[in-house]
Amino acid sequence: MMRLPTRETRVMVQGITGREGAYHTAQMLAYGTNIVAGVTPGRGGEWLFEQVPIFDSVQEARHATDATVSVMFVPPRAAVDALYEAISAQLSLVVCITENIPVRDMMRIKRLLALSRTRLLGPSSPGLIVPNQFKLGIIPSQIVTAGNVGIVSRSSTLLYEVTELLTRHGIGQRVCLGLGGDTVSGTHFADVLAFFEEDPHTDRVVLIGEIGGVSEQAAARFIRERMTKPVIAYIVGKTAPKSQRMGHAGAIIEDEIGGYAEKVEALQQAGVRLAQSPDEIVQALA
């Protein structure tokens, strides 16, 4: 089952000296994330913001700082090697922001993850945020407020929209988490639902899905068999044409697999309340 980091969790940033890495490191530090190291090959011995030491490798960073979590801003051409590094160093969690990692490479990473203790969130994930505690990734901190609603989404944009809408209506969040929309992902809805089910600080769950793949159907099975907390789902892509890419690689329907109707039916049979818009999510929670 997925385990949530804490405010004290020691975090490293892979690709910390790039534009995106440096910018979002500053944002995470400002929000209270305990960033203790950065990794950029060839830049070992330098410092970022005069407070974060930079190392040449993940192994060196872990050995020197005891960091157990990584947030990854590595370009696609180097992302697979960076993931191999993080998994080999036995990090407990890797949040991969990087997009456009080839499917074949991710299939190899998935096989490696199955033999490791590392959980991968992503690729193409915006990360996760625990309001008033810490954030790992790029979710804007100004849109969240503390509460007891768990939010998990395949779509980064819809995660932001729904979270901001809930905050505006005074509905706080326990955790906001983005799975990433790529075809091959390290974490799925059922993994996060298992955490929410066991978490004493979560009492309601919002699931935001989309066409493509079978992650929502697997979530429906988990909800039907094991979930006791109420789940509200919002599935997008009702009018999307078949066999056409919509947004990113995960949102492709082929041979009727991963279609809107199939996902909605599975969730309804599991007793999930379906919303037709973000506003209906707010109404259901209120």
Looking at residue 195, the DSSP 8-state letter turns out to be H
To the nearest 10°, report the CA torsion of 81, 83, 84, 90.
Answer: 150
- Asked if 232 and 171 touch (Cβ cutoff 8 Å), the reply is no
At residue 120's C-alpha, the angle toward residues 115 and 122, to 5°, is 140
Catalytic-labelled residue, pool 24, 63, 188, 248: 248
Residue 63 annotated in active site: no
- Residue 107 makes CB contacts below 8 A (sequence gap 6+) with 184
Give the integer Cα–Cα distance in Å for 73 and 159.
Answer: 20
What's the sign of the alpha-carbon dihedral 24, 91, 155, 268?
negative
- Dig out the tokens for 101 from the structure: 């990692």
Please, what is the end-to-end C-alpha distance for the chain in angstroms? 29
Residue 128 to residues 44, 177, 220, 238, 253, Cα–Cα distance (Å): 28, 4, 22, 27, 27
Give the integer Cα–Cα distance in Å for 162 and 266.
Answer: 22
CA proximity to 207, closest of 165, 243, 179: 179
- Asked if 10 and 69 touch (Cβ cutoff 8 Å), the reply is yes
Active site residues: 248
